A and B are shown apart, each in its own frame.
Chain A
Amino acid sequence: MAEIVGALGVPHNPFVALALARGEDSVSEARRLYDALASELRAMNPDTIVIVTTDHYNVFFEVSVPIFSIGVAERAAGPCDYPQLPRVDVALDAELAREIQASVVAEDFDVGASRELELDHTITAPLCSMLGTVDVALVPLFVSGSLHPLPRARRCFALGRAVRRAIERSPLARRVVVVGSGAFSFEVGGPRMSEDSHVGVPDPAWAAHVTELLAAGDFERVVAEATPAQLEAAGNASGELLDWLVMLGTFDARPPTFIEAQPAEGHAYAAWRLGV
């Protein structure tokens, strides 16, 4: 029987990941936080990581940008968008991925299947920043959190619930950790960038508020308050919160085992050990 043994929420800033890979002192705070999550992840001892992310115009572009899709290839390599970052060629848990897809489609969640794909930095950067490499099989689950129209927060949370049912129904012997990748408030290259960078955090109060709600285990309020208007106000990358919402849907709401925000960065690091 497959079981969900834990969940993580991680940021994936590629410039931070690069500085971490080079061992630069400027990112000692991120080092400490990724290390904290790495200890949680090792304690969870997963066979498979389901990583929920927003593709950054890498996997999906010309033919279609699906609202949801799941990677069912046997392997995938990356990152395809930041070649300076550590490169990995990873086994995907195609067997579990296909079961999840079949199960959620049977429940009316229209999730496509990607039979050939590359990994971008949103997957490899947080995993390599925690683990140094990726030695756990992955199931990439993509949410269209950048290109409008975005799926609604409630739909993403409900998809998480359906993924949970799929995993709990599976006869495969798997310890599964679900990871949500992304920020709560972030602007890349747009008018709301800061005065000294090409990125910015347009709504740090929203990021802090989301972190407080998560710390209290109040997932329902995050879902209710993550309206299209709020996500728009929080920056052009703030739809990545939807990746977290899918992850949060995969277990009963509760306070995390670990959570710490970096408000000036618009994101947080969080872990939920589910005690199996």
Chain B
Amino acid sequence: MSIYAVDKVCRRVVREPDFVQALRDDPEQALRAAQPPLTDEERALLLAGDVGRLGRMGASFFLLHQLGRFELFGLTLPEYAARIRAEYAAERRAL
């Protein structure tokens, strides 16, 4: 499965309040029910809020940052930003 499944989770977060609530109540179960299915790795990375790695795998940053905006998986917008900056520290130094 492509990273599309992760993009779709992030997009649904913006548009479906019930889905956001389900992700707060039982994140693992809500992610297991997502369609198209996430891979085990994608689900684990989402649950860990590992947005840096998900970005590396090709997830849309535009969509990914919504996880910070909606404060899911232990993220806030500042925490989201810190994790992206940490993951991409080498590239940022080269800019």
Which residues of A line the B interface, CB within 8 A? 56-58, 61-62, 80-81, 146-147, 187-193, 195, 197-198, 202, 236-237
B43 interfacial by beta-carbon distance below 8 Å:
no
Residue of B nearest to A118 (CB): B15
Q: Given A191-B92, A193-B85, A198-B81 in contact, is the A61-B65 Cβ separation under 8 Å?
A: no
Q: Given A61-B8, A81-B14, A81-B15 in contact, is the A188-B62 Cβ separation under 8 Å?
A: yes
Total interface residues on B, CB under 8 Å, equals 24
Residues B15 and A189 in contact, CB atoms below 8 Å apart = no
Chain B contact residues: helix, strand, loop or mixed: helix
Which residues of B line the A interface, CB within 8 A? 7-8, 11, 14-15, 55, 60-65, 68, 77-78, 80-81, 84-85, 87-88, 91-92, 95
Checking A58, A189, A190, A197 against B14 with a beta-carbon cut-off of 8 angstroms, the contacting residue is: A58
Residue of B nearest to A200 (CB): B81
Chain B residue contacts of A190, Cβ below 8 A: 55, 61-62, 84
Give 12 pairs: A residue, B residue, CB < 8 Å, sorted on A: A57-B7, A57-B11, A57-B60, A57-B63, A61-B8, A81-B15, A147-B60, A191-B85, A193-B81, A193-B85, A198-B77, A202-B95
Chain B residue contacts of A236, Cβ below 8 A: 61-62
Shortest C-beta distance, A224 to chain B (Å), equals 26
Q: Which of B7, B14, B68, B91 has the most CB of A within 10 A?
A: B14
Residues B8 and A62 in contact, CB atoms below 8 Å apart = yes
Residue of A nearest to B56 (CB): A191
Chain B residue contacts of A191, Cβ below 8 A: 55, 61, 84-85, 87-88, 91-92
Q: Bound state CA distance, A61 and B14, in angstroms?
A: 13
Residues B65 and A198 in contact, CB atoms below 8 Å apart = yes
Residues A57 and B95 in contact, CB atoms below 8 Å apart = no
Chain B residue contacts of A198, Cβ below 8 A: 65, 68, 77-78, 80-81, 84
Q: Bound state CA distance, A206 and B86, in angstroms?
A: 26
Residue of B nearest to A83 (CB): B17
Residue of A nearest to B68 (CB): A198
Chain B residue contacts of A58, Cβ below 8 A: 14-15
Chain B residue contacts of A147, Cβ below 8 A: 60
Shortest C-beta distance, A79 to chain B (Å), equals 10
Residues A56 and B84 in contact, CB atoms below 8 Å apart = no
Q: Bound state CA distance, A56 and B62, in angstroms?
A: 8
Q: Bound state CA distance, A62 and B77, in angstroms?
A: 26
Residues A189 and B8 in contact, CB atoms below 8 Å apart = no
Residues B62 and A193 in contact, CB atoms below 8 Å apart = no
Chain B residue contacts of A189, Cβ below 8 A: 61-62, 64-65, 68, 80-81, 84
